[in-house]
């Protein structure tokens, strides 16, 4: 699976990628661009990535997740380029035999992704001001 896209993230594709009749619990996470108000209303965010590494690092994270809970299925994608307010920048789906595993592993993947994926974001405000955001 490709973990980097310029297009809107489709939750249905992530869910389909992990679905199986052996897995009774599926957890999906979407990180979406907030309108924000710290510096003024955000118009959109431009995500820049070290694309080759993003692809490899996301694969590694997902492989590690499978290693932690072998009977699970995991999928993840990060959007790059312009992402409008209210649209998703990242999606992660985990299906597991039981719900507690699905939640725990999905949250683990999200935390690892935030910590490890080589992605940066430039926030563009309604007034046109642009700045790199580190968070």
Partner 1 sequence: MSTLTIHCRFFARYAELLGCERVDVPVPNGATVADLVARVRASVPSGDRLPVHLMAAVNRTHVPSGHSLTDGDEVAFLPPLAGG
For binding to its own copies (CB under 8 A), which residues are involved? 11-12, 15, 19-35, 85-86, 88, 97, 99, 102-103, 106-107, 110
Q: Is 39 in the site for partner 1 (CB under 8 A)?
A: no
Distance in angstroms between the alpha carbons of the first and the last residue of the chain: 27
Those residues with Cβ within 8 angstroms of residue 18's Cβ, 6 or more apart along the chain or in another chain: 26, 72, 73, 74, 75, 93, 94, 95
Figure out which of the listed residues 47, 61, 65, 106 binds partner 1, where binding follows CB under 8 A. Answer: 47
H or E element at residue 5: strand 4-5
Residue number, 10 or 111, with CB nearest to partner 1: 111
Stretch that binds partner 1, among 15-23, 33-41, 62-70, 114-122 (CB under 8 A): 114-122
Per CB under 8 A, 122 contacts partner 1? yes
**Residue 29 CB: number of other CB atoms within 10 A?**
19
73-79 and 4-5 strand pairing: parallel
- Candidates 8-16, 33-41, 46-54, 61-69 — which segment interacts with partner 1 by CB under 8 A? 46-54
Task: Give the chain's largest Cα–Cα span.
Answer: 51
Residues making contact with partner 1 (CB under 8 A): 31, 47-50, 52-54, 56-57, 78, 89-90, 99, 110, 113-122, 132-135
């Amino acid at each position: 699976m490709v973990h980097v896209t310029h297009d809107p993230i489709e939750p249905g594709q992530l869910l389909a990628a992990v679905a199986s009749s052996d897995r009774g619990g599926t957890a999906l996470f979407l990180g979406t661009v907030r309108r924000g108000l710290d510096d003024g209303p955000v118009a959109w965010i431009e995500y820049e990535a070290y694309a080759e590494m993003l692809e490899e690092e996301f694969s590694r994270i997902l492989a590690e997740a499978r290693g932690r809970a072998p009977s699970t299925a995991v999928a993840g994608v990060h959007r790059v380029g312009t992402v409008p307010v209210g649209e998703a920048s990242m999606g992660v789906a985990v299906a597991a035999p039981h719900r507690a595993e699905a939640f725990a592993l999905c949250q683990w993947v999200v935390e690892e992704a935030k910590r490890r994926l080589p992605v940066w974001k430039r926030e563009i405000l309604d007034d046109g001001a642009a700045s790199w955001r580190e968070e």
